[in-house]
Structure 1
Amino acid sequence: MLDLKRSRSTNNIKDIKVFSFNNKGIYEFKDKYIKNKPAKHQNNKVFKKSNNNTKPLFKFNLPKSPKGQDRPLNPNIIPEAGSFVFDNNSKKHKLLKQIGRTGGEGSVYLTDSNLICKIYKKEKVTNFREEKIKLLIKNTIKVKNVCLPEYIAYNNSKEFVGYLMPQATGSEIKTSIFIPPLLKQKFPHWNRWHLAKIALNILQKIEKLHQHNIILGDINPNNILLNNENDIYFIDTDSFQIENYPCSVGMVPYTRKMHHGKRYEDYLRTKDDDIYAVATLVFQLMLPGKLPYSFSGGGSEKENMKPENFPYKCDDNGYNNAPDGQWVYIWSNLPFKLKVIFCRVFRKNEKVKLYELTKEIKDYIYQLDKGYQTKEIFPLTHKQIDDNGNVIKDDFVKIKCKICKQEFAIPNKQVVDFKVKGWSLPTKCKSCKDIKDPDLKKCSGCGKQFKDKYNNLCSNCRGTNITCNSCYTTFLFSESEQSFYDKKGLSYPKKCKNCRGNKSNNNNNNSSSSNNSNNIGGILSSLFGW
């Protein structure tokens, strides 16, 4: 067959190859008249028999309606610290000490096997909980740092009371990231890159759980612990929705508006519900702790959650009662495409795919690595763009507000404009300029506004009465004047302003008289030879 390559009838054919098949694979025969070139495929094999023995990815079912009525199991004994529990392999575990306070569902204990044991309250030990945990354990789902149940926990009477899981460490995102002063205190050297990495790690864990058709349901900052941007744990995983066992808990800000007013155990959530919740969480990571629908003059979290209430700029209409302070600056400095995702979710009430949000966070990390975006967690100005459309970083002047003592910034372009116009730079930040201070009042003396909780007179109308030692009238030496004299190191005046003015006038008059008499004397001397 290979000889056909030398036939004139096959001159227009580029090549002819011959292969041999056996149980080890497919091999190519070589032409003895040409150099023996190795096949392009590894080990000279065109195809290789697959030796992949890995199991296919397990996926739970996704039913549309939840199971019927749950029923309590009423165990006789609820174990406490110092007692023992038994797992589904009959191994004994001692509960050494309780970790944290008792929650709504039960208590968590450290065991002598270095696992964590969650023991439910008696009224929370139900048939659904036991069946759900058995379902999770049976299919041995493993996602790094997602503390899924590994063993069922039974009491001495072999009654279900809880489960055992891997140990998690770290601080709750809510108390370490979402409170700005604590964020600065706990992670003083962090910048926006760290926050974006946390967001990416959370998104990737949720993506892996979704591959198994696990719906998290109760995504919130209390259920996520972190040690650093790469060491993140998901806890309270027994609340995850598995098949038709619903997630019976949740929090309003992370629940789509369409489900408000429903009981969580009465419906099954979807992956779209999870995506909405994690979009809210990522928004709070980008604007540390700030909820999407938080705005100036707003009401409760539930009342605020309307698309028209999203306060940040999504189009030419600008901001809509955006919260005061740094939040507008943070929003301005976010990448455009990430802001588009947030606007689609919170302003337009659209569904987005998890991979879309993940892609924009990855792009943000890339831009931060390359220096295309500011890394400041709390930037001091709006995003500054040069004439070529490039982001200008750190091109501003810092000023300390004389009211709140917080730093604010003015872009250098604006500073130049101020100088050209002969204006002085502002001394108050925008928040302090805009604020209507309830302590401001009208001075009953001069009518000017001033700030003082305890006096009705301003510092110019308030002071010490002094008797003039020249005209013996009483005059007011105001507190503002006293402050001026103290700063200059001057002695307090003993005469009123009129007498002080008369003294200077008299000095001027005496000086003038002396000059006049000197002039007259000079004239007479020249005339009469005096």
Structure 2
Amino acid sequence: MEKRLGKELARGGEGVVYQLEERVDVLVKVYHARVLQDARSAARLEQKIAAMTANQRLRGLDRAAWPLRQLYDPNSGRWCGYAMRRQAGISLQGLLGAPQNMREFAPNWNRLHLVRLCLDFLETIEILSAERTLPVDFNPCNFLVDVTTARCAFIDCDGYQFLDAAGNLHLCEAVRPDLAAPELLERSRWSEASVKPASLRFSVGMVLFFILNLGNNPYRHRNGNDPVDNLRVGICGLGKDADCPMPPGPWYVIWSHMSFDLKNLFIRCFRDGHADAAARPAIAEWREALERYEYRLRSGKADAALIPARAKLPATNTN
């Protein structure tokens, strides 16, 4: 049955997202004409979306805007996009992109909320990974936060790397450079090679750092170089022996209060794991460290303020 498109909600490089007039809980993505004009690329994209809609477990995942149904142009009959479950919330970028945003959108949040958000994010990553799916393009605009529950919804799922039931690997097309593993930044042709789980583990660490440090990047340092340039070559300011200290101010204060095992995981991910992908923490390690940190926050053994009043002295900076 033909459905009528409602108002436009978002526009990106690949297409436009609309709401449906008849179903407020369903959105549709219509790809731009220029995307569909390349017959080979359009066929590859249509096959990918068809395979994604066939995955019953991910179709039922209520925390992701997973493709649910193919979309066809009512005039030409040609494939043009897909329908998905509508997700609500403010984007990670919108929530953490500027200090005043937290005060406006989540005035009652403390570090327990941030930890819950991290754990919910990891739970979805584990579900996707179990279905041989890697959300390679870690863009903070593509994660929506419900500030009442600290839950994280995933959108723009058609860009994920996905291995379907028939064993066909559907690749992603690009990544956001400031949250990508360093080996991915050297690519010029995304459609020709798969992304490995080790690259996912790096980006997971980047998102967790982004959340716990209120939008900061671990490759920022006092000299002010571009974080992406630092990421490419492995200049990271974390750890006592870093040769490029973290900038003074709130980020240093937050880092000083973070649990010892979380700090070690971040150092492993971004310093040891920059050149040695095997050193990057597994998802389970992040989850266990966050659960221990959550216990310390709940029991009053760690400061739960979003930004503690002052830095923790090095002599007491342990668990």
**Short-chain TM bin:** 0.7 to 0.9
Which structure has the higher relative contact order (CA within 8 Å, separation 6+)? 2
Structure 2 Cα separation of the partners of residues 235 and 116 of structure 1: 11
- Is the Cα contact below 8 Å between 1:253 and 1:301 reproduced in 2? yes
- Is the Cα contact below 8 Å between 2:73 and 2:79 reproduced in 1? yes
Where does residue 22 of structure 1 map in the other structure?
none
Where does residue 488 of structure 1 map in the other structure?
none
1:149 equivalenced with 2:67 (yes/no): yes
Structure 2 Cα separation of the partners of residues 295 and 385 of structure 1: 19
Q: 1:319 to 1:181 in 2, by over 3 A?
A: farther
What's the RMSD between the two structures over aligned residues? 2.0
Query: Pick from 47, 70, 91: which aligns with 1:172?
Result: 91
**Offset, 1:307:** 6.6
**Offset, 1:284:** 0.9
1:93 equivalenced with 2:3 (yes/no): yes
Where does residue 83 of structure 1 map in the other structure?
none
Structure 2 Cα separation of the partners of residues 196 and 222 of structure 1: 19
| Residue-pair matches, total | 297
Structure 2 Cα separation of the partners of residues 153 and 292 of structure 1: 41
- Is the Cα contact below 8 Å between 1:216 and 1:240 reproduced in 2? yes
- AA partner of residue 298 (structure 1): G
Superposition map of 1:357-372 within 5 A: 357-372=286-301
- AA partner of residue 95 (structure 1): L
Where does residue 133 of structure 2 map in the other structure?
214
Query: Pick from 150, 153, 162: which aligns with 1:230?
Result: 150
Where does residue 184 of structure 2 map in the other structure?
259
Where does residue 289 of structure 1 map in the other structure?
215
**Secondary structure, in 3 states, of the residue corresponding to 2:145?**
strand
- AA partner of residue 51 (structure 2): L
User: Is the helix fraction higher in 1 or 2?
Assistant: 2
Where does residue 475 of structure 1 map in the other structure?
none
Structure 2 Cα separation of the partners of residues 319 and 198 of structure 1: 32
Structure 1 Cα separation of the partners of residues 29 and 72 of structure 2: 11
Where does residue 52 of structure 2 map in the other structure?
136
Query: Pick from 297, 307, 311: which aligns with 1:378?
Result: 307
Task: Tell me the alpha carbon deviations over residues 267-301 of structure 1, each in whole angstroms, 9 at most, x when there is no partner.
Answer: 21122211111110100111111111011223223
Superposition map of 1:113-128 within 5 A: 113-114=23-24, 115-125=26-36, 126-128=42-44
**Secondary structure, in 3 states, of the residue corresponding to 1:208?**
helix
Structure 1 Cα separation of the partners of residues 226 and 152 of structure 2: 30
**Secondary structure, in 3 states, of the residue corresponding to 1:265?**
helix
Structure 1 Cα separation of the partners of residues 233 and 315 of structure 2: 33
Structure 1: give runs of 5+ residues left out of the alignment: 1-90, 392-530
Query: Pick from 151, 176, 186: which aligns with 2:105?
Result: 186
Structure 2: give runs of 5+ residues left out of the alignment: 37-41, 164-168, 274-278
**Secondary structure, in 3 states, of the residue corresponding to 1:109?**
strand
Structure 1 Cα separation of the partners of residues 301 and 309 of structure 2: 17
**Secondary structure, in 3 states, of the residue corresponding to 1:163?**
strand
Instruction: Please report the TM-score for the alignment, with normalisation by the length of structure 1.
Output: 0.54
- AA partner of residue 96 (structure 2): I
Superposition map of 1:195-206 within 5 A: 195-206=114-125
Structure 2 Cα separation of the partners of residues 253 and 377 of structure 1: 23
Where does residue 326 of structure 1 map in the other structure?
250
**Offset, 1:113:** 2.5
- AA partner of residue 73 (structure 2): N
Task: Tell me the alpha carbon deviations over residues 308-348 of structure 1, each in whole angstroms, 9 at most, x when there is no partner.
Answer: 52112x24x36733112111111110000000000001111
**Offset, 1:381:** 1.7
**Offset, 1:152:** 0.3
Where does residue 172 of structure 2 map in the other structure?
247
Task: Tell me the alpha carbon deviations over residues 139-185 of structure 1, each in whole angstroms, 9 at most, x when there is no partner.
Answer: 22232311101000001222100000011111111011232121122
- Is the Cα contact below 8 Å between 1:146 and 1:233 reproduced in 2? yes
Task: Tell me the alpha carbon deviations over residues 202-232 of structure 1, each in whole angstroms, 9 at most, x when there is no partner.
Answer: 0110101101111111122110011224332
Q: 1:390 to 1:153 in 2, by over 3 A?
A: closer
**Offset, 1:96:** 1.2
1:299 equivalenced with 2:252 (yes/no): no
- Is the Cα contact below 8 Å between 2:223 and 2:244 reproduced in 1? no
Where does residue 195 of structure 2 map in the other structure?
269
- AA partner of residue 16 (structure 2): S
Structure 1 Cα separation of the partners of residues 136 and 292 of structure 2: 27
**Offset, 1:197:** 0.7
Q: 1:127 to 1:306 in 2, by over 3 A?
A: closer
